[in-house]
Every structure is written in C-alpha cells, then in structure tokens.
Copies of this chain bind each other. A is one copy, B any other.
C-alpha cells in the first residue's frame, strides 16, 4: 500500500488592490542564506502554516494580520494548491525550516483572495511597511513556492466573481469615475485591451452606470465626463 500523506497545511492570501490606475498585489519580503552560503532576498505571498486549534478561515485572518498588519479584509477561499512539486526549490524548504522550526516536506496550501480599493481608507488598514508592500502586478518577479501560479489563479477567481456580480467593479472605483477608469479596471481584470469606442457603447448599455453633468477639472487633455454607479438600478435588473 502506498504511503499516506501526512502534510502540513498552510494558508496563502492574495490581496489585490486597485489604486485607480493599476492593480497591485500585497507581498511580503523574505531573506535568508541559500545552500551555497549566499544571502538572498525575494518576495512571497503573505502565508504561513496553520495551527492545530484553528479553522481555515480563522487562520487566514490571523496569517494576513500577523504578516502584514492588514485586517478587516473579506477573504474568500478559492483553491487548494497541493502539487507534490510545490517545494522543489531547496531555498523554500530551508526557509521553512528556519522560519517555522519544523521540517516540512510537502505542504498543501489553501489560498484566499480579496480585492480592495487602495485609497485613503485603505491606508487605515495599517499595513506594516517593514514587512509588506503593494507591488504592481506587472512588476512581480519570481516568487517563492508556486506563488506566481496562485496569483494567476486568484485573478481568475476575481474574474469569476466579477462575472457573477458586476457591482464588485464599482466598489473598486471612486464614487465618481471616468469611463477610462472603468475601462482600465476591466482591462486589468480580464487581462486584455478593450476598444475605447466599443467600451463607450457598452457603458451606454448599462443602465446602472449613470452619466453625470460634472467633468474632470484641471486636466491637460479634454476633460472627461464623470459617471456614477446606481446600485438601486443594478439590483432591480439583477
């Protein structure tokens, strides 16, 4: 009979933040000495092993808060990653031994995601800048473990949520937003460029995106019109 797997379980949190122009992901810094005695510094998702007395959702809140200072974020579990190749990089295994004081060969990680608007309010979520930082999604390098894959799949989860509930998009925008801001956000979430003219037509077909009289001020280009999201209309149509 094959050997039963007796694994450690970890949680990894993928927090996306949209600041009106680009999508960022919350990463924590990691450094150590690799097996050749060379110091290294890289990054990873905020994640850690869970404790015996914790439920998964509890552990996710604890891990995120402990490693980044961030709390009060609605985390959603979206996938377990359990490939036996997750810990192929000796650096990752060494780091775990140092960090967790335990010898871990295989870890199943339960991945959570959330997506936030990065504005004044989000600053109040008290990120600890000595350990964590928001990194532009296009500038994320090679991360520890399979964390690049987890981010990719987390973005897929965001996409599915958006498909199911389009109002999520508007939670990420300022109260008054331009068509260009909404388009940028859609381009990021769906990872593809959208034609400007077609996008304006699409907005016209969304009765819950209401054009305001107000326009941008003090911009070099032609001042764009502001729109607002009407949740009442949205809920009626849903």
Contacts and interface: CB of A to CB of B under 8 A. Distances in A.
B53 A2 contact: yes
A106 interface: yes
Interface in A100-121: 100, 102, 106, 108, 110
Nearest to A106: B52
Interface stretch (A28-36, A79-87, A214-222): A79-87
Contacts of A54: 2, 5, 84
A205 interface: no
A237 interface: no
A49 B5 contact: yes
Interface string A108-137: 101000000000000000000000000000
A26 interface: no
Contact of A4 (B52, B82, B84): B52
Interface string A1-20: 01111111100000000000
Interface string A158-189: 00100110000000000000000000000000
Contact of A102 (B4, B8, B84): B4
A160 B160 CA distance: 9
A148 interface: no
Nearest to A108: B9
A52 to B, nearest CB: 5
A74 B108 CA distance: 22
A56 interface: yes
Interface of A: 2-9, 49-56, 77, 79-80, 82-84, 100, 102, 106, 108, 110, 160, 163-164
Given A3-B53, A52-B84, 18 more contacts: A2-B52, A2-B54, A3-B51, A4-B8, A4-B52, A5-B54, A6-B8, A7-B7, A9-B9, A9-B108, A50-B82, A53-B84, A54-B84, A56-B80, A56-B83, A77-B80, A82-B110, A163-B164
